[in-house]
Amino acid sequence: MIHRDSILEWLIVGGGVHGTYLSNALIRQRVTHRSDLRVLDPHDEPLREWKKCTSNVGMKFLRSPKVHHLDLEPFSLKHYVECESCEERNYIPPNDRPSLELFNRHAENVINRNGLKKLRINDAAVKIEPGRSFHSVYGSNQTLKTRNIVIAVGNGKPFWLDWASMIKTDGAKIMHVLDNCYCKKRIPEQAVVAVVGGGMSAVQTAISLASPNREVVLISPHSIRINNYDSDPGWMGPKYLRKFRSEPNYEIRRRWISEARNRGSVTHELYRNFALLRKKKRCRFFAEKVVLADPISTDMILLHLESGEITAANAIVLATGFEQDVPGGVMISDLAKDPGFRCASCGFPIPDRHLKWWDGIYLSGTLAELEIGPSAPNLIGARMAANKIVSEMVK
Ligand SMILES: Cc1cc2nc3c(=O)[nH]c(=O)nc-3n(C[C@H](O)[C@H](O)[C@H](O)COP(=O)(O)OP(=O)(O)OC[C@H]3O[C@@H](n4cnc5c(N)ncnc54)[C@H](O)[C@@H]3O)c2cc1C
């Protein structure tokens, strides 16, 4: 219980993958005591966004290896499997990637073992007011005072293409797979469903929706690219990061991040699974952009493609990832108005090498990518962020 007038040592804003990992790291690496740290998040359960997104797309296996998870010790998941005598099939090559089910079970174990749920305060931060001796974080129901803040608010909003927003307003059957309101059950069973997007989420969604009675049309702006990694593993260590972090020009850093990300690519096994579906004629594929969508009735939409071809669908599912804007909305843009909170020309914060954006205000996840690099939003990004923040505290 936090008293109205008490001042916390640490408040983590956002209790998803990053916020949960950081809370564990700050306590177990003795940066602070449990009683002095809280995690502010509107969801009462940790990892709610992760679970929603991964389950919506129908993900079966992670893209990252078994050493990327929510515990501090890299081999924790491996040891967990040995103790629980899990099946071998819980990992797949390359790099022993765990099943989502195993990853989530291990994450629950880490959360329960370390009492991380008890650290949560259910509320969303709407404003941060930096101060000299403490900062104030305004939620919708309360104001919290804290000496240190880590902002770990995630990736931002699902990205809607213009034509898609327009037909949604007109009431067409269209949803985004990463939206809170996405519900697979609302997609008709005997129907043609167009999935629009070209990366892991799109291909996973197409595979999970295809069934003997439901034909899926995957429309990707490019042919399916294969890559087992979100970005080259060299971005997780000194091979590329040394040069990246010594580059003083943030426009160059931004360019390197964009070039490094294998956006719109899928792992080998997903590619194979998708090819199999096409062979069974449960999926069709267009490597083309949609230029216009025309809802001709309540359950029929015509999609006009760049080549002039037209394809019809009874429902559309967008799998176009997240907006590329700076996450955190007004809370972050208000802070960024103060010249003390440095930002690059792309609008993203420029934290120091310990991820400090201002005295006692730290960043993790996408917000920290100009310092962490292309893997910032990923599971490994949480570990890198924690190492940087902790290394300042225990130096
Ligand atoms: C389908 C899918 C599959 C993926 N697979 C992998 C993978 O295999 N390996 C990998 O490394 N990465 C993967 N990723 C990427 C990565 O795991 C996610 O980007 C990760 O969940 C980001 O963690 P986060 O804590 O930054 O954000 P989230 O997990 O989204 O958490 C952010 C939290 O902040 C809270 N929040 C937001 N605003 C506020 C506010 N104002 N006040 C308080 N709380 C707030 C939200 O409620 C949420 O709980 C995947 C992503 C997706 C979508």
Q: Is the CB of 201 under 6 A from ligand 1?
A: yes
The Å distance, Cα 111 to ligand 1 centre, comes to 16
Sheet containing strand 300-305, edge to edge, reads 290-297, 300-305, 310-313
Quote the pTM value.
Answer: 0.96
Q: Is the CB of 158 under 6 A from ligand 1?
A: no
Distance CA 49, CA 322 (A): 13
The Å distance, Cα 380 to ligand 1 centre, comes to 12
Give the tens place of pLDDT for each residue, 41-73: 999 999 999 999 999 999 999 999 999 999 999
Decide if 233 is inside a domain.
no
Q: Which helix (H) or strand (E) holds 312?
A: strand 310-313
Supply the pLDDT for residue 2.
Answer: 58
The Å distance, Cα 47 to ligand 1 centre, comes to 7
Q: Check if the beta carbon of residue 306 is closer than 8 Å to that of residue 177.
A: no
Tokens representing 229 are 């990694």
Number of domains making up the chain = 2
Angle at the Cα of 279 from the Cα atoms of 275 and 285, rounded to 5 degrees: 60
Q: Domain check: are 46 and 190 in the same one?
A: no
Q: Domain check: are 196 and 146 in the same one?
A: no
Q: 297 lies in which domain range?
A: 162-227+262-318
Q: Domain check: are 223 and 279 in the same one?
A: yes
Q: Is the CB of 288 under 6 A from ligand 1?
A: no
Supply the pLDDT for residue 392.
Answer: 86
Residues 6+ apart with CB under 8 A from 343: 336, 349, 350
22 by Cβ neighbours in 10 Å (0-12 / 13-18 / 19+) ranks as buried
Q: Check if the beta carbon of residue 298 is closer than 8 Å to that of residue 191.
A: no
Distance CA 344, CA 362 (A): 16
CATH number where 300 lies = 3.50.50.60
Decide if 67 is inside a domain.
yes
**Collapsing DSSP states into helix, strand and coil, what is residue 139?**
strand
Identify each DSSP E strand in 177-299 by its residue range: 192-196, 215-220, 225-226, 265-266, 283-287, 290-297
**Collapsing DSSP states into helix, strand and coil, what is residue 138?**
strand
Low-confidence ranges of the chain (pLDDT < 50): none
Decide if 106 is inside a domain.
yes
Distance CA 52, CA 176 (A): 12
Q: Domain check: are 150 and 172 in the same one?
A: no
Give the tens place of pLDDT for each residue, 156-203: 899 999 999 999 998 999 999 999 999 999 998 999 999 999 999 999
Angle at the Cα of 285 from the Cα atoms of 284 and 290, rounded to 5 degrees: 120
